[in-house]
Amino acid sequence: MFYLFVYCKIPMKEQSLKVAVIGAGMAGLLAAREIKREGHRVIVFEKTSRLGGTWVYDPRVETDPLGLDPSRKIVHSSMYSSLRVNLPRRLMGFLDYPFLKKQDGDTREFPGHREVLRYLEDFARDFWLVELIRFEHEVVRVERVNGVSHEWIVEWRTREGESEEEEVFEAVIVCNGHHTEPRIAEFPGMDTWPGVQIHSHNYRTPEPFKNKIVVLIGNGPSAHDILREISSVAKEVHQALRASDVHFKKLENRNNIWQHPVIERTDEDGKVIFQDGSFVCADIIIHCTGYKYHFPFLRTNGIVNMDDNCVGPLYKHVFPPYLAPWLSFVGLPYRAVPTLIIELQSRWLAKVLSGKLALPCEEEMASSVEELYQHMNESGRPKHHTHQLQQNKFDYENWLVNQLGLPPLEDWREQLYFYALKKIPSDAGDDYRDWDTWDINQWIQE
């Protein structure tokens, strides 16, 4: 197909807009700061009584431990009590607001979750963001007024009284997070299997797994943390992995952890049968299988769709071409440094909204998205990987930096990130976070 690349930018004059930000987690805070810096008027809607989103540890778990019942009472955060960050703090800090060690805080290079929450609280205080937040305001509807792109009704309810009110904004930035709605593994027999099944969203501490035989599905950073933690109290832990080279084996340095390929089926007598024929009679299955994007409040008449966990079409994972720049999403990409992506996206969209940076025209943005889909299709990548920045380079981050006219990102960021990724052990070895080769200063000097 021949594409005529006329650089047809959306013309916008410099302007100050009334902007709604949904969510006061890391993305909402960064978006609010950038929007405010650009001189726009911003209101942040936050459904809970605290800022920080994921980093606000909540010991409660949901009524449906697998998260399938749409009427369940939702607990936002998926934090477990022992969680320590999986990236060095030097990488996690914002470009102009480093994640410094504080005398009275958790000074480890990979601190616990409370330290991140404190960092976000300090950030919000230092940039006068707290006064922009309407706490306990849950957004229940976002919809264009009579189909006009830059007039959006935002409807919310407050906790007490559940009254619903609405207000009109010129732009809406969606920052509601994507680690709350569980995605589960599916296999024949799961509905009639007699044991307990939970998703890692509802994992807090290892005690409920004491002396149990557990099957853990998954291979991501949380799966590794939870596997290690559960194995210290459980009788046996059997990890089911999707990788093609996995076969039944006991882990060398552990006396109660086995690896298997994926689950083929489960039986009513409690058996869990894996694809290679190995099996175990288990008490609990824990699904550490990730999350789904979820925007229950968004009504766009089909302009923005969810298909196989792909939110689209979205130009550069931020703007739906036919609603840009009045509707945008921050923080969707994963397999990346979340803080860096969120900060760069926020700066970019704030400057687009104020007319300092222009977007290509609708058609060009739409064909850019089509090209991405086509490329994914040709290279055999499934649709649900659309927002996964899977390569081994910071291409997307560098593209944003380039748009913003910022100096190139320092090489150490990319190198340290990919080094850190490799250190997340594949065999449940000792805790990589305390590895004594983490001399970050040396890394940065090199």
What is the pattern of x (binds ligand FAD, CB under 6 A) and - over residues 41-60?
Answer: ----xxxx----xxx-----
DSSP label at 308? T
Of 20, 21, 75, 76, the one binding ligand FAD by CB under 6 A: 76
Site for ligand FAD in 10-29 (CB under 6 A): 22-28
Site for ligand FAD in 176-195 (CB under 6 A): 176-177, 179
CB-wise, 40 or 178, nearer to ligand FAD? 178
Work out whether 175 is an interface residue with ligand FAD (CB under 6 A).
yes
> Which residue type does 172 have?
V
Work out whether 219 is an interface residue with ligand FAD (CB under 6 A).
no
Helix, coil or strand: residue 441: helix
C-alpha to C-alpha distances, 153 to 141, 270, 303, nearest whole angstrom: 7, 50, 16
Helix, coil or strand: residue 338: helix
Work out whether 111 is an interface residue with ligand FAD (CB under 6 A).
no
Q: What are phi and psi of 179, to 5 degrees?
A: -130, 45
What is the pattern of x (binds ligand FAD, CB under 6 A) and - over residues 121-150?
Answer: -----------------xx-----------
CB of 298 to ligand FAD, least distance (A): 9
- Give the whole-angstrom CA distance, residue 65 versus residue 83: 19
- Give the whole-angstrom CA distance, residue 396 versus residue 315: 12
From 3-11, 171-179, 230-238, 370-378, span contacting ligand FAD (CB under 6 A): 171-179
Work out whether 154 is an interface residue with ligand FAD (CB under 6 A).
no
Q: Whose structure tokens read 């959306």?
A: 10
- Give the whole-angstrom CA distance, residue 177 versus residue 112: 20
CB-wise, 24 or 42, nearer to ligand FAD? 24
CB of 220 to ligand FAD, least distance (A): 9
Closest CA to 224 of 210, 211, 237, 208: 237
Binding residues vs ligand FAD (CB under 6 A): 22-28, 45-48, 53-55, 76, 78-79, 83, 85-87, 92, 138-139, 175-177, 179, 222, 297, 331, 338-339
